[in-house]
A and B are shown apart, each in its own frame.
Chain A
């Protein structure tokens, strides 16, 4: 059977393009990274209320993404939400112990993410530490309730 090189080339390119496309969807669209586990370190933070924070949400400092939320679970000792963060390994040992973590919202209806603000404690956070100082998500209903009760009491 006669083999046509152009056809083989066409099919080869087609399949290659498909694989590259899948890589694009993985890296650029769903933001997968090929970081080694050693490239990150873990911190934990307990929040009274996480709002609609989801795993894989961004963790930022001054608006710059420095990590991701990897897991959210209920802390059975305190009955609040324990959030596991994974941060760039470069930051290990450089964040003060009194760093605060706040759940923020991008825009009025946007996604929720965690913002870190550095403190001034001389001791630094290392892998596995817990951030003590946290600020829960703003829940719209609570805000309105507060606002209304303030109006009434005025």
Chain B
């Protein structure tokens, strides 16, 4: 019994210690003097985590929008309220699905790649050698990736919403025959730019920070062996998915839960 409590305590300490370490890590990497070189490194990472994730995010967005419209239509038509389809599709996407699904896809596509890449650099002593050359790898390797992730995910989320709403339009208006004017009109009268689009963006930025943070920290902190890299990659996807879903509940409660 005592042993179990001891074990629990030790694990608690480990978790706290890891949190502290990763917090310091975040603070050290995020703060940096922007330079021409840094700008270019950021650009490369934007390409790597952002541009290369466009395809998967947009295709998923299109399908999710189409499915939403299809499901929503069959429910709404029972109440004779199919003119609310646009509103339903837009609100579900903007408030909830775009930030969350885009973040989950981002964790799988870009987050795991970031972990593996940084882990490999660590395993091949590239990070150590950078330190010995007198360059801080937190600035040079981690910071551009962190900032690229932070900018790229909200942009991807916007793309997800736009494509999703268009997918809903394709299914709802073009296929199921909802009146086009009520699809867009219902949407416009119920979607608030700050309240819905803005809050969705805030969610997305929080997720972007958390997912990239977890990804680069797992890469930087892993055991530099082949097994360590594969474990850290898995951890990145698992931890970021859980963090995104958990934080989503908290953020939704704060933003839309009606507490104030």
A contacts B: CB pair < 8 Å:
yes
Residues on A lying within 8 angstroms of B by beta carbon are: 1, 3, 7-8, 10-11, 14-15, 17-18, 21-22, 24-26, 28-32, 56-58, 65, 106-111, 113
Q: Are B155 and A18 in contact (CB under 8 A)?
A: yes
> How many Å from the CB of B191 to the closest CB on chain A?
4
What residue in chain A is nearest B151 (Cβ atoms)? A15
CA distance A106 to B182 in the complex (A): 10
Q: Are A58 and B189 in contact (CB under 8 A)?
A: yes
B235 touches A (CB below 8 Å): no
What residue in chain A is nearest B148 (Cβ atoms)? A11
Q: A10-B47, A22-B197, A107-B83 are in contact. List 17 more A-B contacts (CB 8 A).
A: A10-B51, A11-B43, A11-B50, A15-B155, A17-B155, A18-B156, A21-B158, A29-B161, A29-B188, A30-B187, A30-B192, A31-B188, A31-B191, A58-B185, A106-B83, A107-B81, A111-B84
Known: A3-B40, A21-B161, A26-B193. A111 touches B186 (CB 8 A): yes
CA distance A57 to B90 in the complex (A): 17
Q: List 19 A-B contacts (CB under 8 A).
A: A7-B51, A11-B47, A11-B51, A14-B152, A18-B159, A22-B197, A25-B158, A25-B161, A29-B161, A29-B187, A29-B191, A31-B188, A65-B185, A108-B79, A109-B80, A109-B81, A110-B81, A110-B84, A111-B189
Known: A11-B51, A14-B54. A29 touches B46 (CB 8 A): no
Across the interface, which residues of A come within 8 angstroms of B187, CB to CB?
29-31
CA distance A24 to B151 in the complex (A): 19
Picked from B81, B162, B189, the residue with its CB within 8 Å of the CB of A56 is: B189
B140 touches A (CB below 8 Å): no
Total contacting residues, chain B, CB less than 8 A: 40
B94 touches A (CB below 8 Å): yes
> How many Å from the CB of B42 to the closest CB on chain A?
9
Q: Are A14 and B51 in contact (CB under 8 A)?
A: yes
Known: A29-B90, A30-B197. A110 touches B192 (CB 8 A): no
> How many Å from the CB of A10 to the closest CB on chain B?
5
Task: List 9 A-B pairs, minimum CB-CB distance, nearest first.
Answer: A31-B188, A18-B155, A21-B158, A30-B191, A30-B193, A21-B162, A10-B51, A11-B46, A7-B47
CA distance A30 to B165 in the complex (A): 12
CA distance A113 to B189 in the complex (A): 10
Across the interface, which residues of B come within 8 angstroms of A8, CB to CB?
43
Q: Are B165 and A29 in contact (CB under 8 A)?
A: yes
B190 touches A (CB below 8 Å): yes
What residue in chain B is nearest A8 (Cβ atoms)? B43
CA distance A28 to B50 in the complex (A): 25
CA distance A109 to B188 in the complex (A): 17
What residue in chain B is nearest A15 (Cβ atoms)? B155
What residue in chain B is nearest A69 (Cβ atoms)? B189
Across the interface, which residues of A come within 8 angstroms of B81, CB to CB?
107-110
Chain A proximity mask over B185-206: 1 for CB below 8 Å, otherwise 0:
1111111110011000000000
Across the interface, which residues of B come within 8 angstroms of A1, CB to CB?
37, 40
CA distance A142 to B187 in the complex (A): 29
Picked from B46, B90, B193, the residue with its CB within 8 Å of the CB of A32 is: B193
Across the interface, which residues of B come within 8 angstroms of A3, CB to CB?
40
What residue in chain B is nearest A57 (Cβ atoms)? B189
